Amino acid sequence: MSPSRPLIALAIALLPIAHASARTVYRCIRDGTVSLATAPEPGSQCFAKELDDDAAALPNLWGQMGVFHGTLYQREQDGRTVYSTRNLPGSTPVLAFTVATPAGSPAHAGLGEVGAPRMDAFPREFRSAAKKTGVEEAWLRAIAHAESYYDPQAVSDKGARGVMQLMPDVIGDYGVKDPLSASESILAGARHLRALQNRYEGDLTLVAAAYNAGIGAVTQYAGVPPYVETREYVAKVQALYARYRKAMGLKPRPAQLQPAQ
């Protein structure tokens, strides 16, 4: 089945709620994966989205994921029936689906040039974000350097904003209130990198590619997309990561960010 609207239309159709013109749906994030649910999922970070049932078109709640297949599940939670696209304990499958969402496009080649490491920029914020998320500070700084050269007011022509150049869907997923706040941007960027590292099992090549071009594009091409911007970005981050590790007194790591062919 290939619905023309996002899958949440199917969940809405299954819900036995009379006289409802609007309802709340939850976009839930766990380990770099997105699900939609009619109640917050245990173990996921969920954000409420208000939908108008009478709207001519439902919004895309998935983000830029490309074409993917999944299942809508039903389970009992807190004494009521809920629906989710994640298979949680106690779930039973209700409906298989295929959803076509934007595959994504290169965010931009990055606003920062390869150059000397800058350890003076927001030291407390980077240390804190690295500690909270487990993302290596040298890696986090390499991304920030490549993205914005630490400019909290940076805005790209693709709509990426702040130190970590967060795209609108990332801003929404991590509850960022002010994307131009250095502390909020750095923490959300670190959390997003952590989720990507979990998704790609620590493969920093794919993490860098997905950060730049989106998960959908990486899925579509089964690796680093053939975008010039993305391949240049991966190479830039590779060089910066090595320089930041050296600046922090860390041993070089084996080359692991070469774009996949």
- For residues 198 and 61, the model is more confident at 198
If asked whether residues 14 and 63 sit together in one domain, one would say yes
- DSSP for 73-130, written as a single string: EEEEETTEEEEESS--TT-EEEEEEEEE--------S-SS-S-S---SSSHHHHHHHH
Query: Of 64, 90, 83, nearest to 23 (Cα)?
Result: 83
**Distance (Å, rounded) from C-alpha 10 to C-alpha 91?**
17
Q: Report yes or no on 164 lying in a domain.
A: yes
If you average pLDDT over residues 53-58, what whole number do you get? 57
Span 26-47, pLDDT tens digits: 888 776 677 888 899 998 878 8
Within-domain flag for 34:
yes
According to the model, what pLDDT value does residue 22 have?
Answer: 62
135 and 243 share one domain: yes
Whether residue 153 sits in one domain with residue 236: yes
Q: Which of 233, 224, 260 is nearest to 142 (CA)?
A: 233
Q: What is the pTM of this model?
A: 0.68
Predicted pLDDT at 2: 37
pLDDT band at 10 (very low <50, low <70, confident <90, very high): very low
Over the stretch 235-261, which tens digit does the pLDDT of each residue have?
999 999 999 999 999 987 765 554 433
Tell me if 252 is assigned to some domain.
Answer: no
Question: In this structure, is residue 253 part of a structural domain?
Answer: no
Q: Show which residues are catalytic.
A: 147
Residue 114 within any structural domain of the chain: no
Domain, as residue range, for 135: 123-247
Q: How many CB atoms lie within 10 A of CB 258?
A: 12
Same domain, 131 and 166: yes
8 Å CB contact between 230 and 220: no
- Structural domains in the chain (count): 2
Same structural domain, 64 and 131? no
Q: Say if 208 falls within a structural domain.
A: yes
18 versus 182: the higher-pLDDT residue is: 182
Cβ proximity of 27 and 47 under 8 Å = yes
Output the domain CATH number for residue 190: 1.10.530.10
> Quick check: is 1 in a domain?
no
C-alpha to C-alpha distances, 157 to 108, 154, 165, nearest whole angstrom: 8, 10, 11
Q: Are residues 23 and 86 both part of a single domain? A: yes
Same domain for 79 and 164, yes or no, is no
> At residue 232, does pLDDT exceed 80?
yes
Look at residue 167 and tell me if it is in a domain: yes
